[in-house]
Amino acid sequence: MAIVSKRSDLLTIGEVLNQVRSEFDDISISKIRFLEAEGLIVPSRTKSGYRKFSSADVDKLRYILRMQRDHYLPLKVIKEHIEAIDRGLKPEIDEIEKPKVPSVLVDLNQLGIKKSNIRVTREELIANTSITDQDLKESEDYGLIKVLADKRHYDDIAVKTARVIAALSGFGLEPRHLKFLKSGSDRESSLIKQVASPMSRSKRPDAGEQALEMMREISNLTNQLHFILVSSTLDEEIL
């Protein structure tokens, strides 16, 4: 557990109790300590060992208490919800349903390069993207989708990629048909990095940010060029 210095934006357990008591009149210090013992909330500690709660800890406590009061969920299920929230997922209130990926993260019109902190298991990835287990395995073999370093979770890029691959499978395209896209994207990335390299090595304080912006702009332009070239070739074939 993290040790923190005394800070004005952190609350003692008594202050937390006062904040939430107006909404949950049966709350008590012993109940907060029980939820901590069960691993649902993990406050920081001062060097003297006193609990210190952040605003996120208080929000989490409110969520736990609402799920108990309004939906009668057992602590085991609420803990699964908390773990899902910590991984960037959106839990369903219905116990039968699994946590779902927020729709914005798998929208085919939202394929930007900005990453989030979302982490999903293999089961959640398949359930939320409709990719088959076989296609997921082949996609990993061809380097189209990567599992995170912990070998258990996938990030939002994997979610977006899996959603596209699942959609393409409806047209009869399998991961083996798409592996050339991976090699092409690797070469394109290397070219973009090479172009932006002099900027990134500059001594300007904002050199890194400028280089990143340059790479994004070049990537956007090459994506447009790719679309134009493919579209024009298809149009020629149709004509």
CA pair distance 183, 199, nearest whole angstrom: 25
Helix and strand tally (H, E) in the chain? 9, 4
Are 128 and 193 contained in the same domain?
no
Q: For residue range 68-127, what is the model confidence (pLDDT) as tens digits?
A: 888 878 888 888 888 888 888 877 765 444 555 554 444 434 434 445 678 899 999 998
Are 74 and 114 contained in the same domain?
no
Q: For residue range 133-162, what is the model confidence (pLDDT) as tens digits?
A: 999 999 999 999 999 999 999 998 999 899
The answer to the question of residue 154 being in a domain is yes
Above 50 in pLDDT, residue 3?
no
What pLDDT score was predicted for residue 178?
A: 92
Cβ neighbour number for residue 147 with a 10 Å cutoff:
15
CATH code of the domain in which 22 resides: 1.10.1660.10
Are 97 and 164 contained in the same domain?
yes
Are 213 and 164 contained in the same domain?
no
Give the pLDDT band (50/70/90) at residue 202: confident
Rounded alpha-carbon distances, angstroms, from residue 168 to 49, 77, 173, 205 = 55, 35, 6, 43
Q: Which residues does 138 contact at the CB level (< 8 Å), separation at least 6?
A: 174, 175, 176
Are 231 and 159 contained in the same domain?
no
Range of the domain at 43: 13-86
Average per-residue pLDDT for the chain: 83
Query: For the chain, what is the domain count?
Result: 3
The answer to the question of residue 1 being in a domain is no
